[in-house]
Amino acid sequence: MKSRQGITSLQATATVVVSILGIAVLIMPSSASEAAGIDGVLATLFGGLVALVLALTAILLGRHYPDYTIIEYSQIILGRLLGKLFGFYFAIYAIATTATVLRGFADAMKVLLLPKTPLEVIMITMLFTVVYQVQGGIGTIARINELFLPPIITIILGLIALNIRDVELFRFRALLSEGVGPIFMSLVNISTGYLGFEIVTFLTPFMADKSKLLKYGLAGVVLTVIVYTALVFVVLGIYGNKTTSDMVYPTVHLARRILWVESFIERFDIFFLTFWILAAYTTITAYMYMASLSVVRLMGLRNYKPFTLILTPIVYIISIIPQNSVQFTLLLNIISYAGLILGFSTIPMLVISKIRKAGTKNG
């Protein structure tokens, strides 16, 4: 018997998780601490719940149009003109995000592992590797994600487990000392760390069992929320909120604390960064795929592969525009807020879709 074609449920979960995890896993603790202080733990948790609600909305919206991606069914919901504008916005966002994550990856690699390697070499090498995988299609991407997910999650959870005994609980005595205000004020900033869940708007047409995307897609977001919250808890519990907010890559500092583990692992930070490269790679791949498919579907075409090659120099040019960390942070903030706008846009689209469906049935 021929195996059923399409993405399996576990591959969908893996794709969602690795699309979210990337450079954010290195900076999430410092972002949470800077935004909400010691309440960053709760902010990370509630920010994840916001992402979970948005992912739920996106999946429910996609279930109304199981054979289309968001680029196509947005034109059905919003009309041809507004739908085209929305699709163009999504395509620009996906292209810019691919470039931003690529630059963030290259900056981290240069600081942490390859100080003498030119930034351009790191980006070009990663970009060509990503393009090669994207050419294989969503099936290949999903299988690679399924293969990479266990070691990525294992190494992050191992990092948390090996440090949790050193958490000083007294640091959390000031939790909620200023009320819930700082948490709610930081939700927007924290929620940007969960961007990547929008990949669910492209998975439905390619699922082997479309009805399972709701369960397994949300499982991917929940797993990421657990990982991020636990990571922020451990980092804040060890270093405190002031020290954490001053760190560039606090997760790497956490890994460097593990110098010896039963004579088996030395320099755990190198071990951790090796698997973090896989996480960054899969995230860049997911956005490159979304960018290519968005452009093609926006033009009414089917074969996205030639456009992946066309977008490659565009992504590279955008990635080298920031000349320093201040400019990169500005670009990252712009892209993050653009992503949240896209995420929240699925809510009115779902409402409109349900109203039209109800009108059609009553009519």
pLDDT of residue 266: 62
What fold, for 9-356?
Amino acid/polyamine transporter I (1.20.1740)
Calculate the CA 213 to chain-centre distance. Answer: 17
What does the mean pLDDT of the chain come to?
Answer: 88
CA 145, 72, 201: angle at the middle one, nearest 5? Answer: 30
pLDDT band at 2 (very low <50, low <70, confident <90, very high): very low
Q: Please, which pLDDT band fits residue 241 given cuts at 50, 70 and 90?
A: confident
Residue 96 token pair: 């810019």
**pLDDT bucket at 259, cuts 50 / 70 / 90:** low
In the numeric block, which tokens belong to residue 65?
Answer: 């149009």
Buried b (16+ CB within 10 A) or exposed e, 62-86: bebbeebbbbbbbbebbeeeebeeb
Say how far apart CA 74 and CA 321 lie, in whole Å: 31
Q: How far is CA 74 from CA 51, 159, 207, 218, 243, in A?
A: 20, 41, 19, 22, 45
Say how many CA atoms lie within 13 Å of 219 toward its Cβ.
12
Q: CB under 8 Å to 352, separation ≥6 — which residues? A: 77, 78
- Condensed to tens digits (0 to 9), the pLDDT of residues 188-222 reads 788 888 988 899 999 989 998 888 999 999 999 99
